[in-house]
Amino acid sequence: MAKSGLFNLDNLSSQNIDEDAELIPLMTSEDEEEINREELPDDLPILPLKNTVLFPGVVIPITAGRDKSIKLINDANNGNKTIGVVAQTNDDEEHPSYADIHKVGVVARILRVLKMPDGNTTVIIQGKKRFKITEPVSDQPYLRCKIEEFEELKPESNDNEFETIIDSVKDLSLRIIKDSPNIPSEASFAIKNIESSSFLINFVSSNMNVDVEDKQKLLETSDLKERALSTLKYMNLEFQKLELKNDIQSKVQNDMSQQQREYFLHQQMKTIQEELGGVSSEGELDDMRERAKTKVWKETVETHFNKELTKLQKMNPQVAEYSIQRNYLDLFLDLPWDHYSDDIFDLKRAQKVLDRDHYGLDDVKRRIIEYLAVLKLRKDMKSPILCLYGPPGVGKTSLGKSIAEALGRKYARVSLGGLRDEAEIRGHRKTYIGAMPGRIIQSLKKAGTGNPVFVLDEIDKIGNSHQGDPSSALLEVLDPEQNNDFHDNFLEVGYDLSKVMFVATSNNLATIHPALRDRMEIINVNGYTVEEKIEIAKRHLLPKQISEHGIKSEDIKLGKQQLEKIIDGYTRESGVRNLEKQVAKVVRNIAKNIAMEEDYDVKVSSEAVEKILGPSRPRNSYENNDVAGVVTGLAWTSVGGEILFIESILSKGKGNLSITGNLGKVMKESATIAMEYIKSNAEKFDLNSDIFTNYNVHIHVPEGATPKDGPSAGITMLTSLVSLFTQRKIKKNLAMTGEITLRGKVLPVGGIKEKILAAKRAKIKEIILCEDNRKDIEEIKEDYLKGLKINYVSEMHEVLDLALLKQKVKDAKIL
């Protein structure tokens, strides 16, 4: 049985009183006589109650949650509506038996049953007569016991002492109601209009704020006069408590001035704690003051802290604002205002750490060593704000940890992908419920130093919404001229971020806010060649997977040839993330063999790789030059470089140009430019002008599900069309990239290194680039260019001279 809703004189409020009069009847003498004439049955179903004692004549609501209790109530409500109600001896017992209940209870009548949405049942009952349990009858489906009447001994009608006790009970009840502002006036009306002395004592006993055991003793007291006297004693005790409470309030009121009224509740709580011998929250405030003395703050920060601490002192610890204010001051004390990690100026050690964790990435490593060298000479140099830009899986994020270790600093990281709320950066104003600082301040608190290496991951994937623009909020964070006084809305004072070394990572510079991009030093982290991936797999990925899968290095030998097979046949990426997954599959297979004690070859063969990983995936590679109009191009994507094929065909028609392959506007314009260039130079290519009116041209770029755009396929499209119209072969193993103009000029394009790597993966031997891209090639390591012949051009006729052979394709069309 769940807890009941009693009317306590100490906490009775107007919302407890049901407006339906039949639910709170005041028992008259006639009602009492009628109840006394009622005969009790030989046995009754017994309803055990927690924390509740029912008295004769009193109406109470109770909530039933136990299955047995609900069935008992339903059965009784459908029958004679009469049940026996007793209090449990142990309120913690969820399934009380005969041994767990008091043996004196009250016969009750069910007035109303209400079904609650949560499955519980609320029932309103009225006590009738006391009874005493003689023996149990059954315990299924609920407890049923034999009972006998527990008679009440009433005093003589001329007993003056009893009358005096009853008058005292009434008077004291009215005084308690009067001195308690939270008890409604209707309670006084009820007390004054009770005629029956027995019901008066029962009503007051039921509503007194005393323990269940004390109430049970009153119920078991058969002598009405003795019970009335005990009730009066309990009421006197309650009245003394009420007077003490009012005295405390008076003492606080007398000590208060007009200016102190705003924190009246705080003083009242403090006085109560002193009366009870407890302690106030002063100890917590003293601890904050002591911690504040150890901080080296600017004068403005210290003034603000002391002002906010005074506010906390005036607050009641029980209100919600108190915890917000306390958390606010705790943040002040936890932030590393004056604490910085000592940089390790050992440049050789730093280089060793960077080389140990990451293979390649020379530009990034060089920049970190340069920063450390200048910091060693100048000491107070502002930290650089770097942006590592490159395809996924090349180690941009993990590089942040290595930089932190190389410099001897703490590491902090915030993922910005999908961030849409400016408050995530600047924090919420602390007036809001649930307010907290922004991620920058939170991360610095967690790091514990004011100069960590702070990685802003996926900065290109920040969104914006009606809640603000996080990119704009980052402008202040990443501006060296402003971030020495960064303003977080929650903190409300400036915080110095100038010593923090911010390292952002990005896959696509185009989606970064231009002003934000301008504040960062962009470092291109390119993809890896096959040789570099093999070296990374041998140095890092394989040892890591061996350790994670609980095997030893001598349990598996994965050679260069097998690693190259995994890279070429099972991964299509610039980084090494998928390579690690495939290596993990191979290691897991070895771990399974070891765990199952199966025989296996320690040296993994190429056949074993294919058996474990399945058939290799075909990837784009160079196709032969047997078909006119098919040319290999080079493209850049956010995940690295790729090769693509430009296909074109002729069909009888009226000179229409069709372009397919999910191409963007720029690529379609490149196709139009190429077509117009050929028309204007038809004589150079020995073309009859009738071709352009008698044939339709269709240009297609395969993998139509993938969107494609950009100007770098211009020379590829023009070469494809010239090959189509002239039916000449394209040089073998050749790929190209570059933009064209209507005058036949070749313009430079971007993503050269990624395109070079894509060409090597596709076994391309020769590449055509714009002359202005020569500087990009000169910045690429020789290892990347090994086995490639680079041709530089400035005019379109140079491209055609290099790309087109004099030889016609087999089955060449006569146009």
Residues designated catalytic: 712, 755
Phi, psi at 551, each rounded to 5°: -115, 175
* Integer Cα distance of 198 and 194 in angstroms: 10
384 is in an annotated binding site: no
Contact 49, 5 (CB under 8 A): no
637 is in an annotated binding site: no
User: Could you give the angle at the alpha carbon of 508 between the alpha carbons of 504 and 511, nearest 5°?
Assistant: 95
Looking at the DSSP assignment, which residues form a beta bridge with residue 438? none
810 is in an annotated binding site: no
Contact 48, 101 (CB under 8 A): yes
Closest-CA residue to 781 (of 564, 572, 522, 528) = 528
Phi, psi at 189, each rounded to 5°: -60, -40
614 is in an annotated binding site: no
Tokens of 308: 């906010």
* Integer Cα distance of 763 and 788 in angstroms: 9
Start-to-end Cα distance in the chain: 97
Contact 89, 152 (CB under 8 A): no
DSSP letter for 98, please. G
Q: What ranges in 180-279 are assigned the alpha helix state H?
A: 186-192, 197-207, 212-220, 224-255, 264-275
Contact 781, 756 (CB under 8 A): no
397 is in an annotated binding site: yes
DSSP string, 272-329: HHHHTT---THHHHHHHHHHHHT----HHHHHHHHHHHHHHHTS-TTSHHHHHHHHHH
DSSP helix/strand/coil, 586 = helix
User: Could you give the angle at the alpha carbon of 60 between the alpha carbons of 54 and 64, nearest 5°?
Assistant: 90
396 is in an annotated binding site: yes
DSSP letter for 345, please. -
* Integer Cα distance of 140 and 338 in angstroms: 72
* Integer Cα distance of 766 and 760 in angstroms: 10
Contact partners, residue 466, CB within 8 Å, separation at least 6: none
Contact partners, residue 99, CB within 8 Å, separation at least 6: none
391 is in an annotated binding site: yes
Q: Tell me the chain's radius of gyration from C-alpha atoms.
A: 44
414 is in an annotated binding site: no
**In the 3-class helix/strand/coil scheme, how is 380-430 assigned residue by residue?**
CCCCCEEEEECCCCCCHHHHHHHHHHHHCCCEEEEECCCCCCCHHHHCCCC
* Integer Cα distance of 110 and 126 in angstroms: 7
Bind-site residues: 390-397
Bind-site residues for ATP: 390-397
